[in-house]
Amino acid sequence: MSNPPSPEIAAPATQDPRAPAIRRDGHERLLSICAIAISAISLWVAFDTQQSNRQLVAEAAWPFVQVFASGGGEEPRVLSLNIGNAGIGPAKIKTLEVFWNGRAYRSAAELLKDCCGRQPPDAPDSALGTSSVAGTVLRAGDTVPVIRYALSPQNADIWNAFRTQRFKLSHRICFCSVLNECWLTKTQEIAGTQDLDPPRIASCPQPEVAYAE
């Protein structure tokens, strides 16, 4: 009697010797990708934070300069042309231009002569006060009278003429923040709407005729 054939025993599967290295390389590649992604996110967050901080600093130093007329009704009766900083940061006043009938003036004396018939006096006129603002710093909330003209028995005609003509004046001003961000307003009338969004410029140009005092 013959013995039945022995069942064949399957040979054990052979493991690829490269498998651990492949898994290790894949793991390291994944870690590298994660590290790069985290670095990129950190860099973006840092950049965005820097931009936000810079914007906050700029807003905290933002100046806004306005020119306006006041006075005439109260006692003592004084007319004034004023420059004020309505912003929240100091304003460096670079240039100021004052116009009447399209002509730029260097001084209040020249302006009052043409607009109102005032003749240059031989002696200083105590009724007229002027301030030089170009090249000065105006703190937030401060106002400076550029022209201050008081009524007197000797200048009633000129004073009344200036009372009317001051609202026909126009001006243009260039000012900068302490961060050296600069703005140049358009030419606008004293009695008109103020330019609430003057364009930002790299630096203030020097006008042909700058108002001095």
Among the ranges given (8-17, 39-48, 95-104, 105-114), the one the predictor scored with the smallest mean pLDDT: 8-17
pLDDT, average across residues 131-151:
90
Domain-by-domain residue ranges, the chain?
20-60, 65-201
- For the full predicted model, state whether its pTM sits above 0.75: no
The strand ranges marked E within the chain are: 65-71, 78-85, 91-100, 103-105, 128-130, 136-138, 143-150, 169-176, 182-184, 188-189, 200-201
Is residue 80 within 8 A of residue 154, CB to CB? The reply is no
Q: What is the mean pLDDT of the chain?
A: 80
Q: What's residue 19's pLDDT? A: 57
Plot region of 129 (φ>0 → left; ψ -120 to 50 → alpha; else → beta): beta
Mapped onto helix, strand or coil, the DSSP state of residue 25 is helix
Percent above pLDDT 70 for the chain: 70
Question: Is the pLDDT reported for residue 124 higher than 90?
Answer: no
Q: What's residue 18's pLDDT? A: 55
